[in-house]
Amino acid sequence: MSSSRTVEENREVANEALARFSSSPLLHLIDGELVPSSSSLTFDNVSPIDQMSLGQVAAGGPTEIALAADAAAEAFDGWVSLPGGERKKILHRVADLIVERADEIAVIESVDTGQPIRFMSSAAIRGAENFRYFADAAPAALDGDAMPTSTHLNYSTRRAIGPVGVITPWNTPFMLSTWKIAPALASGCTVVHKPAEWSPLTASILAEIAGEAGLPAGVLNVVHGVGEVAGKALTEHPAIKAIAFVGESSTGSLIQAQGAPTLKRLHFELGGKNPVVVFDDADLERALDAVVFMIYSLNGERCTSSSRLIVQDTVHDWFVERLTERVNGLQVGDPLDPRTEIGPLIHPLHCAKVRSYLDKAIEDGARVVIGDSKFDPNSNFVPPMLFLEANNSMRISQEEIFGPALTVIPFSDESEAVQIANDVEYGLAGYLWTGDSGRAHRVARDLDVGMVWVNSQNVRHLATPFGGTKRSGIGRDGGDYSFDFYMETKNIAMAYGRHDIGKLGAAKT
Ligand code: NAD
């Protein structure tokens, strides 16, 4: 396992795996063939660890998107007509091959994103679980409902909507790609995937695995490229019936406009500024563990991170003292080192954005605690940050930082806690710590978010609805919610017998 090897051993595995990619630019997969861009344009993929090139990547544009969309359209009838049980077998083989290559996927993901290996090893396995879950659900995906009335038997069936586009971000690319692509394929859709340009590698591994598992040519296509070019072309292509998008809220707005002329069905999983509310009757030690985990794991580059701690004033000082100790104890370093808890952030531009919140915190009047750090300020490493004595109107409380930065806001009673929690533009997740079950239900009811975890960190069950309110998203996925997005529901009304039919034009006879 990559998380039990030394940093040197992980580096060796990563170098071997990378050698396979560096011989040529990373190519698109279109209709089962690895192809360069027609323009021959490429871009450099740089590791966040040391700014070294991980190789060139083919930069796709409208031409490659059109070829991929045509291939997905051509492959659709064959794939959607395959019995669900056959799709299930192929998708289970994809999962088997992911498990076989989980170590390689984990180290590649780590060098490509900067995410610590301790989290990436389970992210690869979770990718396999996504495929298994939706593989098992594939045979029943067509099932609808029966709604008998006095005159008609109504029943509904579902059918895959057609070729779809999947656009994913850079933070945990493998896990997120599988979360979107597995239900699309299970439902019978064919896919054009546009992965994030800052972490493109594992999308190509997934495509390779899918081909080895027996997925027919054209069913899964991958076009690399920048969002404003390849991503935009995908959202505008008339053959693509729906776009499943994970990324920033502002990009979601652009995609909504780009998809409007072709009336795209859209599913958005966007940004968050998620509250964790800690009441003084909670198990404070467990709450502390969860608070630290949910903001400083995955480099804080996590949509469901609890980036605002809303803590009752009666336990505020106790909590902040221990939080400060933990932040100072966080291990920042090489993501391939199994001891590392925070790795380098994805890109210098993103680092600059995250670091800018140090100044913003001070300008807005917060007190800043910075974890011990002994690394080059010009690198992609940033220290963990803790913003104290904050209020909810500060930029550190309102804006998604998407890094290892936690804002602490005190409250005095339940209604104030809810008011602060809801007073943001986002509504993805909320976390709640209390020993009072009535309060737990009340506050969970009143939080304006798509998902609430009570006395828990984020623990996902694949059947449950995942998604956000407000600027955090549109729609839900998970379980049957995913199939609802990737499929069209058709109602069939069958008359029992001779019910009344109005006779028009028959007055003269
Ligand atoms: P981003 O919006 O910049 O990019 C996401 C993807 O969209 C990339 O593949 C990019 O190339 C593409 N893209 C960019 N412009 C486009 C355009 N005009 N048309 C089509 N595609 C375009 O997001 P990011 O910086 O890669 O990811 C971080 C964001 O993702 C954060 O806001 C985070 O909260 C969010 N996120 C949300 C979830 C969730 O489930 N809600 C999960 C993970 C990440």
In tens, the pLDDT along 82-141 reads 999 999 999 999 999 999 999 999 999 999 999 999 999 888 899 999 999 999 999 999
Q: Quick one: which atom of ligand 1 is closest to the CA of 400?
A: 32
Q: For ligand 1, is residue 161 a contact (CB within 6 Å)? A: no
Q: Quick one: which atom of ligand 1 is closest to the CA of 198?
A: 26
What separation in Å is there between the alpha carbon of 434 and the centre of ligand 1? Answer: 34
Question: Does 462 fall in a domain?
Answer: no
pTM above the 0.95 mark? yes
What separation in Å is there between the alpha carbon of 4 and the centre of ligand 1? Answer: 32
Of the residues 197, 269, 341, 400, which is catalytic? 269
What separation in Å is there between the alpha carbon of 37 and the centre of ligand 1? Answer: 23
- The pLDDT, as a whole number, for residue 3 is 67
Question: Does 465 fall in a domain?
Answer: no
Q: Quick one: which atom of ligand 1 is closest to the CA of 350?
A: 25
Residues 331 and 296 in one domain: yes
- The pLDDT, as a whole number, for residue 305 is 98
In tens, the pLDDT along 197-252 reads 999 999 999 999 999 999 999 999 999 999 999 999 999 999 999 999 999 999 99
Q: What is the total count of domains within the chain? A: 2
Q: For ligand 1, is residue 225 a contact (CB within 6 Å)? A: no
- The pLDDT, as a whole number, for residue 227 is 98
Q: Which of 230, 278, 232, 240 is closest to 257 using CA atoms?
A: 232
What separation in Å is there between the alpha carbon of 169 and the centre of ligand 1? Answer: 4
Residues 209 and 316 in one domain: no
Known active-site residue 269: yes
Farthest-apart Cα atoms in the chain, separation: 97
In tens, the pLDDT along 390-419 reads 999 999 999 999 999 999 999 999 999 999
Q: Quick one: which atom of ligand 1 is closest to the CA of 247?
A: 30
Q: For ligand 1, is residue 469 a contact (CB within 6 Å)? A: no
What separation in Å is there between the alpha carbon of 195 and the centre of ligand 1? Answer: 10
Residues 204 and 281 in one domain: no
Question: Does 407 fall in a domain?
Answer: yes
User: pLDDT grade, residue 1 (50/70/90)?
Assistant: low
Q: For ligand 1, is residue 232 a contact (CB within 6 Å)? A: yes
Residues 131 and 60 in one domain: yes
- The pLDDT, as a whole number, for residue 252 is 98
Q: For ligand 1, is residue 231 a contact (CB within 6 Å)? A: yes
**Is the pLDDT reported for residue 79 higher than 70?**
yes
H helices within 334-460, ranges in order?
Answer: 348-363, 395-398, 414-422, 437-446
- The pLDDT, as a whole number, for residue 142 is 87
Question: Does 508 fall in a domain?
Answer: no
The residue whose two tokens read 């480099």 is 299
Residues 185 and 294 in one domain: no
Question: Does 302 fall in a domain?
Answer: yes
Rounded CA separation 287/296 (Å): 14
Residues 197 and 66 in one domain: yes
Q: For ligand 1, is residue 71 a contact (CB within 6 Å)? A: no
Rounded CA separation 235/88 (Å): 28
Q: Quick one: which atom of ligand 1 is closest to the CA of 269?
A: 41
Q: Burial of 127 by CB count in 10 Å (0-12 exposed, 13-18 middle, 19+ buried)?
A: buried
Residues 30 and 139 in one domain: yes
What separation in Å is there between the alpha carbon of 246 and the centre of ligand 1? Answer: 5
Among the residue ranges 376-380, 434-438, 459-463, the one predicted with the least confidence is 376-380
Domain span at 377: 275-454
Residues 261 and 409 in one domain: no
- The pLDDT, as a whole number, for residue 31 is 98
Q: For ligand 1, is residue 345 a contact (CB within 6 Å)? A: no
The residue whose two tokens read 């930065």 is 405
Q: What is the mean pLDDT of residues 354-378?
A: 89
- Contacts of 335 by beta carbon, 8 Å cutoff, 6+ apart: 49, 110, 111, 113, 114, 115, 116, 117, 120, 343, 344
- The pLDDT, as a whole number, for residue 509 is 63
Token pair belonging to 234: 């995908």
Share of the chain above pLDDT 90, in %: 93
Tell me the best of 112, 175, 248 to mutate to test the pocket of ligand 1, counting ligand atoms within 8 Å of each CB and taking the most.
Answer: 248
| SS3 (DSSP) at 450 | coil
**Is the pLDDT reported for residue 372 higher than 80?**
no
- The pLDDT, as a whole number, for residue 418 is 98
Say what the alpha-carbon torsion angle 16, 17, 23, 29 is, to the nearest 10 degrees: 170
Q: Quick one: which atom of ligand 1 is closest to the CA of 197?
A: 11
- The pLDDT, as a whole number, for residue 361 is 98
Q: For ligand 1, is residue 271 a contact (CB within 6 Å)? A: yes
User: pLDDT grade, residue 304 (50/70/90)?
Assistant: very high
Atom 10 of ligand 1: nearest residue by CA position: 227
Residues 232 and 313 in one domain: no
Residues 213 and 145 in one domain: yes
In tens, the pLDDT along 425-457 reads 999 999 999 999 999 999 999 999 999 999 999
Rounded CA separation 269/151 (Å): 42
Residues 207 and 290 in one domain: no
Q: For ligand 1, is residue 250 a contact (CB within 6 Å)? A: no
> Which CATH number does the domain housing residue 82 bear?
3.40.605.10
User: pLDDT grade, residue 342 (50/70/90)?
Assistant: very high
Q: What is the mean pLDDT of residues 28-45?
A: 96
H helices within 191-338, ranges in order?
Answer: 201-212, 232-236, 249-259, 284-296, 313-329
What separation in Å is there between the alpha carbon of 171 and the centre of ligand 1? Answer: 9
Known active-site residue 86: no
Rounded CA separation 175/198 (Å): 15
Question: Does 366 fall in a domain?
Answer: yes
In tens, the pLDDT along 188-198 reads 999 999 999 99
Atom 9 of ligand 1: nearest residue by CA position: 196
User: pLDDT grade, residue 387 (50/70/90)?
Assistant: very high
Of the residues 104, 129, 197, 303, which is catalytic? 303
**Is the pLDDT reported for residue 41 higher than 80?**
yes
**Is the pLDDT reported for residue 373 higher than 80?**
no
- The pLDDT, as a whole number, for residue 263 is 98
User: pLDDT grade, residue 19 (50/70/90)?
Assistant: confident
Residues 111 and 36 in one domain: yes
